[in-house]
Structure 1
Amino acid sequence: MTHQYQVTGMTCSSCEAKVKGALMTIENVKNVEVSKETNSATITMDKHIALSDFQKALDPKYQIAAINHNELEEQAKSWFETYKPILLIFFYISLITILIQNKNEHFNVTEAMQHFMAGFFLVFSFFKLLNLKGFAESYVMYDVIAKRIPIWAYLYAFTELLLGVAFLTGFNPLITNSVTFLVMSISIVGVLQSVLNKKKIQCACLGAIFNLPMSTVTIIEDALMIVMSGLMIINLL
């Protein structure tokens, strides 16, 4: 995509070069054309980049502003495009869960959670196993256990697969939910550390197939499994 921006503060050709050089250092920027005559910068990028990121890269004496596009709309589009795979997965799992409940006279919340978690773990483990090595390399970058015991990154994918099968078959609900609560509680620690420290690393939730950034979406995924398994444990006691 290509957007045009207004850049103020440029007074000479040297300024043009400085602005262009600074903007070209930003990740996903492919080309930059700068003109002090029109106080503009035309930037070609792989995906939308926030205006604040451009401003951070520039010297404070240069100010950049959008000209022909709405920043909020572009950020919303960019967010949706980035997380479209995971949003679609959650939509399909939720839809199937609801359709299964149609056979019941009343909506069974516990059974619905069980089926949702089965779908979640089976689908997410599938993407991890498509490229197990790639997943493991991403996972060891932030998981608190995998950092110390790298083999856990490989075992984690199979743990998710087994949990998916356990939820689907109804294997010993107390053990299944207890293991889920423990595993996901440990997993979320590394995720929280990475997000709070604003580390720009790839989320391994869908393995190495999709390049998803670590964000609050990842926290929500893990937290959802923790809450669901916790609620089912309480119901079983």
Structure 2
Amino acid sequence: MTHTYNITNMTCEGCVAKVSHLLKQLPEVTGVTVNLAQGTADVTMSSHISTPKLQEALKDYPKYQLSEKAGHHHMAAAPAPGTDVFGNPVAEPAKSWVQIYRPILLIAGYITVASTIAATAAGAFNGMAFMRVFMAGFFLTFSFFKMLDLRGFAESYAMYDIVAKKIPAWGYIYAFLELGLGLAFATNWQPVFTNAFTAVLMSVSLVGVLQSVLSKKTIRCACLGAVFNLPMSTVTIIEDGLMILMSVAMLAMYL
């Protein structure tokens, strides 16, 4: 069965992801389709769930207020996308690993090519130049996508980052720190400080990523902001780990 509910104060795709994730934690919920424009959610359930119980699922985020939609009071709505007429989930064609992570793979490819060109501009391959340009491209590109929907990124980031969970404003600060690091690497500003700070920042970020992946929770990765719907996985661990390794390697070279 599927019921439609009003949900207020959803402002971005990050809100959509968070509301969907929270409602899906209820064992009776088999599917959730959130309409940001209309401020509604179609909740498919295996057995009836009272409205107070659904509201309880959102209690940690009081800005989201759930109520029964007029005209849909305990009535089955039209089948939501991904469900049949009985409200049962319909399996969608599985996407390949490449299809899922295509945005990150394309970005990594472009940055790698640009870094290789910069590293070989003087003739022999320069490993230091490669890592510096790669990290500049990484932070500038990823901060750009976060800036496209800063609030959405901050809210998605708070779902798994250990600092953002306790300090919601950290998501906003983190996006600007990435921008600053990108500019610092691009201009080679204070390389010792920049690399040391990067190693610490990415290590803290990695803790939350590891916790989410090891807990096997389905959480959207916020690395590319709220623009792309990428799942948290070992790819995210590799991404953060690579930045830590590069910053430590460059720090060792400078020292």
Aligned equivalents of 1:191, 1:213: Cα separation in 2: 11
Superposed CA RMSD in Å reads: 2.1
Aligned equivalents of 1:203, 1:126: Cα separation in 2: 16
Q: Verify the 8 A CA contact 2:131 2:246 in the aligned structure 1.
A: yes
What does residue 42 of structure 2 align with?
none
Aligned equivalents of 2:224, 2:242: Cα separation in 1: 16
Aligned equivalents of 2:211, 2:112: Cα separation in 1: 29
Q: 1:199 to 1:140 in 2, by over 3 A?
A: same
What does residue 82 of structure 2 align with?
30
What does residue 111 of structure 1 align with?
129
What does residue 166 of structure 1 align with?
184
**What does the per-residue CA deviation read over 1:78-111, in whole Å, with 9 as the maximum and x for residues that have no partner?**
2111100010000000011112223122100011
State the Cα distance separating 1:30 from its structure 2 match. Answer: 1.9
What does residue 210 of structure 1 align with?
228
Q: Which structure carries more relative contact order (alpha carbon 8 Å, separation 6+)?
A: 2
The count of residues paired between Structure 1 and Structure 2 equals: 178
What does residue 248 of structure 2 align with?
230
Aligned equivalents of 2:165, 2:91: Cα separation in 1: 37
With the length of structure 1 as denominator, give the TM-score of the two structures: 0.71
Q: Percent identity?
A: 56
The structure whose Rg is larger is 1
- Match among 171, 186, 207 for residue 153 of structure 1: 171
Give 3-state SS (helix, strand or coil) of 1:148's partner.
coil
Q: Does 1:179 align with 2:231?
A: no
Q: Does 1:193 align with 2:211?
A: yes
Q: Unpaired segments of 5 or more residues in structure 2?
A: 1-28, 34-80
Aligned equivalents of 1:25, 1:182: Cα separation in 2: 40
State the Cα distance separating 1:31 from its structure 2 match. Answer: 4.5
Aligned equivalents of 2:187, 2:113: Cα separation in 1: 19
Aligned equivalents of 2:245, 2:110: Cα separation in 1: 20
What does residue 20 of structure 1 align with?
none
What does residue 9 of structure 1 align with?
none
What does residue 9 of structure 2 align with?
none
Q: Verify the 8 A CA contact 1:140 1:146 in the aligned structure 2.
A: yes
Q: Does 1:98 align with 2:135?
A: no
Q: Verify the 8 A CA contact 1:32 1:44 in the aligned structure 2.
A: no
State the Cα distance separating 1:198 from its structure 2 match. Answer: 0.5
With the length of structure 2 as denominator, give the TM-score of the two structures: 0.66
**What does the per-residue CA deviation read over 1:30-71, in whole Å, with 9 as the maximum and x for residues that have no partner?**
2459xxxxxxxxx552x41xxxxxxxxxxxxxxxxxxxxxxx
Q: 1:160 to 1:31 in 2, by over 3 A?
A: same
Q: Does 1:135 align with 2:140?
A: no
Structure with greater proportional helix content: 1
Where has structure 1 moved over 3 Å in runs of 4 or more? 24-29
Q: Unpaired segments of 5 or more residues in structure 1?
A: 1-23, 34-42, 49-76
Give 3-state SS (helix, strand or coil) of 1:25's partner.
strand
What does residue 238 of structure 2 align with?
220
